[in-house]
Amino acid sequence: MREPNIWIGSVGHLLVLISFVSAITSGLGYFFSQRKEDLSEESQSWLKFGRTSFFVHSGAVLGVVLVLFSIVYNQMYEYFYAYDHSSNDLLVQYMIACFWEGQEGSFLIWIFWNVLAGGILIWKSKTWEKPVMSIFALLQVILTSMLLGVVFFDSFKIGSSPFVLTREVLDLPIYNPAFRETYNPNFIPKDGSGLSPLLQNYWMVIHPPTIFLGFALSFVPFAFAMAGLATKKTKEWLRPAMPWTIVSSAILGLGIVMGAYWAYETLNFGGYWNWDPVENAVYVPWLTLVAALHTMLTARNSSSSLKASIIMLSVTFFLVLYSTFLTRSGVLGDASVHSFTDLGLSGQLLLLMGVFVVVAIWIMFRYWKFIKPDNKEITTYSPEFWTFVSATILFLAAFQVILFTSKPVFGQSPPSNPMELYGSIQGFFAILVAIFSGIGLFYWWRKINPQKSLYQTLALPILVSMVLSGVLIFFLENNEDLQKEFLAAKGQFGKTALAWFKYLLIILIIASTMFSLVANGSLMFQVLRKNPRLSGGAVSHIGIALMILGIMYSAGYSKIISDNNSGLVYNKDAPEEFNKKNVLLWMDEPNRMKDYIITYKGMYVEAQGYPGYINQKYVRSLANDPYKLVAIKDISYNDKSYFKKGDTLTTRPENLFYRVEYRTKSGKLFNLFPRVQMNGIRKGEVVASPDIRQELGKDLYTHVTTIYPDPEKGREYSETQEIKVHPKDTFLLNDFVAVLEDVKRVTEIDAQKLTENEIAVKATVKIIGKNAQYTAEPILLVNQKENKMANIPEILPELGVRLTFKNIDTEKGEMIFSADVGEKDYIIMKAMEKPMINLLWIGSLVIMVGFMIALWRRMKENTPTGKTENITQKEEELTNV
Amino acid sequence: MKPAHIIAIIAIAISIGFIVSFMGDASEYVDFNKAEDFAKKGKEKKVHVIGKLPKNPIGKVVGLEYEPKLNPNLFVFEMVDNAGRKEKVYYNDAKPQDFERSEQIVVIGSYNKNNQFVADKILMKCPSKYEGQQKQLN
């Protein structure tokens, strides 16, 4: 057994210390360079010091990342981080995911992105480098302090090191000198505790780093705003900060959508958004960031927009810190599916927030007076007014969510019905967002066609969108949830009113998004003809409208397919309010549900190199290695042969798939394979994930809720019958008619040749089931030399029977079987249709395109010479919208 | 009055609205007695109740009723809240697969007219992952 490798962790810890110290020196260098007269020798030497320190800092951070990754990658379980998050059988791509499963790793990825952003700032930001980097370095000081893991006076802990040893954390007897006989401080666990199977998903490899990249980038415009104030260049910071605001909004938005898609695919709450605190914690700063983006567009012409931009950027960054605090301090406790354990950093996180609030407020307080007042008043018809309104809407939406998400901070329980609480209010704000994203852009039209009055420009789009929404509303399906609510209200005023309010929301969402689509659509075409670079706003607004519409349809009109009307009230006391969301499917017994006939077809497994799923009946597992299977039949996929009888397959034993066959009214057949994951080490974690069939107009979403047999307990048999029959005899088997067709000698079992001393006979029994005929082929094996008998029984999961070939009575010519009778295999599952969900994903892609167009334009605007790209007076004017 | 001021006033009014509803919706973790009080007073409020599953001397969870073959959408179980009151909880959904293994349970729901506690949602807290490992390592 190898000795624990202590030095690599010491190197890592040393690098953390270096990165912390160099962040401090870098910040001081930049700060003093800024204080001294520009271009003076002193200033230049401080600048050089600051830069060099930042490069040292970058190198150290990169080193920490590499050390931690090599610890995880090489499965060095003497380190708690590797032990806690990795395991021997973890695939390489998921080792990247376990890198940021822990809090230390997620801080590290944030620090790493900051290093990249800082590098770009040093390279590109010229005169802004000094003030911006002073603030940037401060953030790095505080973030790297989170990884220090230094304890003062036995109790005062700063940071949590990712390089602590397992023996320092786990209180095992083997690490305890009191147990003298077993004590061994050099003990290295053989295997890690593994990554939660939920996170073994490609989205989990890219979603968290995307979020942290968004967090890192959103700090840059805040740093610019603070730098602008502190250097009294109150407006000049807007132009260099703009691309950062756009790119951070885009990336944070992308990260949110990725998380939503992961939740939709992997979790089984039946949707993509659960208003979980961790989701909210990213959604809220994104809203305020986008609010800042809007006010920044007009901040050059209006002091109120400028002030609003500075405030919104500060609020965004504060919210990023606050959400970090919420999700890592343990205050949320049970409120979240994302379980971050408390590392005892709450105090430090609060301090972090405090430092930035104090610094930001002090800068604002001191330099606010240098913001020049406007020459002209804001009128209702100015772009400034409309961007201000849109920012206000976004801010209020953010305020509602963060207020209620913070309930546990005030010692209260989290909201008991988050879907309703957030859904209805955010739905209302979505309507405002759609309306104002249309109206706001009309000011652009007024500039293109100044001769037309506002009413003339508005009239046609309103008319067209009213007609379109009328058509859509006419074709709306019955809303089952609302109908139930109306019924349940039984005429009570409050509840009826609430149901009407929800119905009104749906209609208004359709009308407002149609308006936004028509207005922004026609605008987009006009702009594309003139100057495509200016179309970013219109394109993103189209994307938002599509998303809102997609969310409304898929959430509001989600239809339960597995409607169960056969539920017997077996329990007299059962409450009346019935949900009938789950249905029980016996294996191989078709059930009619809504527009489908659904049949559960059995358990399946996956195998490396095989494109589909393999019926568990076609493979046998090896007792000594759960990751290997042996094929007992030739296995092919779409007529292409993949495995021959006797081949060894590699599988993921924790994943089981339950094949559900759907037959549509028109006779079309397709299968869904919802998954159940078990984790071998974290016993007790049984997780069901859906399988989703994506069609153009809707998704069909299916997941299991209960399964028999339980993968951990196996099948249970209640009684055993003995059967003695002659070949060709008919008999009863668990109330089914069965015939012993034939008894034959075989020379191999499961593709394995028998030895000389072995004789095997196989019985073929045909059983007539309710819906199909089944064949059982139990085998009796005799070893002549050792005079021993063995039986290989056949399990018929569709019938709940295990048939064993016991013996042959040679005198009477009778075949002796024993039949164990138990439960037939079944699953309980939930299925639903989510209409128009593709609008949501398409919309989010369209927004990304819009952001990219806007970024392209702002980058051109920032080209240093100004010659390559002449910004015409007209464009400059159009900038305002 | 400037239009921006009107917007600001509306915004402040809406924010105050949120804060008022936030204060009014002061939901806390309660026990069954308190939840029953709410229902008797006619408040249709959903509450969070924290509790544990009763176990027999050999550590098996008792009081579970789930007959999926008859009705997969009704699961009845007993729960002891932190004040020690044992109550039957009705859950109109399938039984969660790993229900018995959970150490602590939070039910979100309310008493109905027949004085039955109906849970809309069950949150389960599984035993700390380290416990299982320690056994395995030893």
Nearest C-alpha neighbor of A658 from the set A750, A586, A565: A586
Once rounded to an integer, what is the mean pLDDT over residues A459-478?
90
pLDDT at A315: 95
Q: Tokens 């028998």 correspond to what residue?
A: A754
**A763 part of a folded domain:** yes
Split at pLDDT 50, 70, 90, the class of A878 is: very low
Split at pLDDT 50, 70, 90, the class of A311 is: very high
Q: Which amino acid is at B126?
A: C
Choosing among B122, B137, B138, which should be mutated to test the A contact, i.e. which has the most A CBs within 10 A? B137
Residue B48 DSSP symbol: E
Q: Which amino acid is at A534?
A: L
pLDDT at A50: 94
**A139 part of a folded domain:** yes
Split at pLDDT 50, 70, 90, the class of A332 is: low
A700 with A761, same domain: the answer is no
Which of residues A642 and A181 earns the better pLDDT score?
Answer: A642
The string of pLDDT tens digits covering residues A239-252 is: 999 999 999 999 99
pLDDT at B131: 37
Nearest C-alpha neighbor of A328 from the set A309, A348, A308: A348
End-to-end CA distance of chain A: 68
pLDDT at B136: 35
Separation between Cα atoms, residue B22 and residue B15, nearest integer Å: 10
Residue span of the structural domain in which A120 resides: 1-200
pLDDT at A348: 81
**A749 part of a folded domain:** yes
> Which domain-ending residue is among A149, A182, A200?
A200
**b/e A491-527 (16+ beta carbons within 10 angstroms → b):** eeeeeeeebeebbebbebbbbbbbbbbbbbbebbeeb
**A496 part of a folded domain:** no
ipTM score assigned to the predicted complex: 0.86
Separation between Cα atoms, residue B46 and residue A579, nearest integer Å: 17
The string of pLDDT tens digits covering residues A654-672 is: 889 999 999 999 999 999 9
Residue A163 DSSP symbol: T
> Which domain-ending residue is among A705, A735, A756?
A705
Using a CB–CB cutoff of 8 Å, tell me whether B70 touches chain A.
yes
Asked whether the beta carbons of residue A573 and residue B116 sit closer than 8 angstroms, the reply is yes
Which of residues A181 and A552 earns the better pLDDT score?
Answer: A552
A42 three-state secondary structure = helix
Cβ–Cβ < 8 Å for A293, A313: no
What is the count of structural domains for chain A?
A: 3
Q: Tokens 């919208």 correspond to what residue?
A: A881
The Cα diameter of chain A in Å comes to 115
Determine if the peptide bond prior to A709 is cis (ω within 30°).
yes
> Which domain-ending residue is among A652, A677, A705?
A705
Torsion angle of the four alpha carbons B102, B105, B109, B111, in this order, in degrees rounded to the nearest 10: 110
List of chain B residues whose C-beta atoms are within 8 Å of the C-beta of residue A431: none
A632 with A662, same domain: the answer is yes
DSSP secondary structure string for all residues of A498-551? HHHHHHHHHHHHHHHHHHHHHHHHHHHHHHHHH-GGGGHHHHHHHHHHHHHHHH
Which of residues A41 and A62 earns the better pLDDT score?
Answer: A62
pLDDT at A787: 82
List of chain B residues whose C-beta atoms are within 8 Å of the C-beta of residue A170: 130, 134
A625 three-state secondary structure = coil
Which range among A187-196, A202-211, A272-281, A827-836 shows the weakest confidence by mean pLDDT?
A: A187-196
Radius of gyration of chain A (CA): 33
pLDDT at A874: 44
A761 three-state secondary structure = strand
Nearest C-alpha neighbor of A671 from the set A592, A602, A617: A602
Once rounded to an integer, what is the mean pLDDT over residues A196-209?
82
A438 three-state secondary structure = helix
Q: Tokens 């697969």 correspond to what residue?
A: B97
List of chain A residues whose C-beta atoms are within 8 Å of the C-beta of residue B130: 170, 193
Asked whether the beta carbons of residue B28 and residue A413 sit closer than 8 angstroms, the reply is yes
**A25 part of a folded domain:** yes
Split at pLDDT 50, 70, 90, the class of A632 is: confident
A694 with A740, same domain: the answer is no
Which domains are assigned to chain B?
Answer: 28-128 (2.40.50.140)
Residues 90 to 119 of B: which have CB under 8 A from any A CB? 90, 92-98, 101, 106, 108, 112, 114, 116, 118
Choosing among A413, A422, A431, A654, which should be mutated to test the B contact, i.e. which has the most B CBs within 10 A? A413
Torsion angle of the four alpha carbons B87, B93, B99, B100, in this order, in degrees rounded to the nearest 10: 50
Backbone angles phi, psi at A574, to 5 degrees: -55, 135
A766 with A697, same domain: the answer is no
Tokens of A267: 């979790």
Residue A197 DSSP symbol: G
**A512 part of a folded domain:** no
**A556 part of a folded domain:** no
What H or E segment, with its residue span, contains residue A635?
strand A635-637
Residue A876, CB-side half-sphere exposure with 13 Å CA sphere: 9
Q: How many interchain CB pairs under 8 A, A with B?
A: 157
Split at pLDDT 50, 70, 90, the class of A684 is: low
A738 with A778, same domain: the answer is yes
Once rounded to an integer, what is the mean pLDDT over residues A780-787?
86
Res. A256: pLDDT tops 90: yes
Q: Which amino acid is at A435?
A: I
Q: What burial class does residue A377 get, using C-beta atoms within 10 Å of its C-beta: 0-12 exposed, 13-18 middle, 19+ buried?
A: exposed
A727 with A650, same domain: the answer is no
What H or E segment, with its residue span, contains residue A456?
helix A454-474
Res. A736: pLDDT tops 70: yes
Res. A458: pLDDT tops 90: no
Sign for the CA dihedral angle at A66, A68, A72, A76 comes to positive
A721 with A678, same domain: the answer is no
pLDDT at A35: 87
Query: Per residue, what are the HEC states of A844-873?
Result: HHHHHHHHHHHHHHHHHHCCCCCCCCCCCH
Separation between Cα atoms, residue A684 and residue B59, nearest integer Å: 16
Q: What burial class does residue A645 get, using C-beta atoms within 10 Å of its C-beta: 0-12 exposed, 13-18 middle, 19+ buried?
A: middle
Backbone angles phi, psi at B57, to 5 degrees: -55, -30
Residues 18 to 57 of B: which have CB under 8 A from any A CB? 18-19, 22, 25-29, 46-48
pLDDT at A579: 62
Separation between Cα atoms, residue A213 and residue A46, nearest integer Å: 29
A67 with A194, same domain: the answer is yes
Tell me the pLDDT of chain A averaged across its residues.
Answer: 86
Split at pLDDT 50, 70, 90, the class of B77 is: very high
Query: Per residue, what are the HEC states of A670-736?
Result: EEECCEEEECCCCCCCEEEECEEEECCCEEEEEEEEEEECECCCECCEEEEEEEEECCCCEEEECCE
List of chain B residues whose C-beta atoms are within 8 Å of the C-beta of residue A304: 4
A688 with A809, same domain: the answer is no
A195 with A70, same domain: the answer is yes
**b/e A746-768 (16+ beta carbons within 10 angstroms → b):** eeebeeeeeeeebebbbbbbebe
Separation between Cα atoms, residue A359 and residue A141, nearest integer Å: 14
A694 with A759, same domain: the answer is no
Using a CB–CB cutoff of 8 Å, tell me whether B17 touches chain A.
no
Tokens of A738: 């069965």
List of chain A residues whose C-beta atoms are within 8 Å of the C-beta of residue B16: none
Tokens of A553: 């349809």
Which range among A373-382, A452-461, A760-769 shows the weakest confidence by mean pLDDT?
A: A373-382
Per cent of chain B over pLDDT 70 is 86
Q: Of B73, B112, B138, which is closest to A578 when you measure between CB atoms?
A: B73
pLDDT at A91: 82
Nearest C-alpha neighbor of A298 from the set A432, A433, A444: A444
Which range among A308-322, A338-352, A789-803 shows the weakest confidence by mean pLDDT?
A: A338-352
The distance of Cα B31 from the centroid of its chain, to the nearest Å, equals: 10
Separation between Cα atoms, residue A444 and residue A448, nearest integer Å: 6
**Which chain A residue has the Cα nearest residue B18?**
A400
Per cent of chain A over pLDDT 90 is 43
Once rounded to an integer, what is the mean pLDDT over residues B13-39?
84
**pTM: predicted TM-score of the whole model, two decimal places:** 0.90
A15 with A126, same domain: the answer is yes
Asked whether the beta carbons of residue A385 and residue B3 sit closer than 8 angstroms, the reply is yes
End-to-end CA distance of chain B: 76
Asked whether the beta carbons of residue A684 and residue B98 sit closer than 8 angstroms, the reply is yes
Separation between Cα atoms, residue B73 and residue A837, nearest integer Å: 27
Beta-bridge mates of residue A706? A828
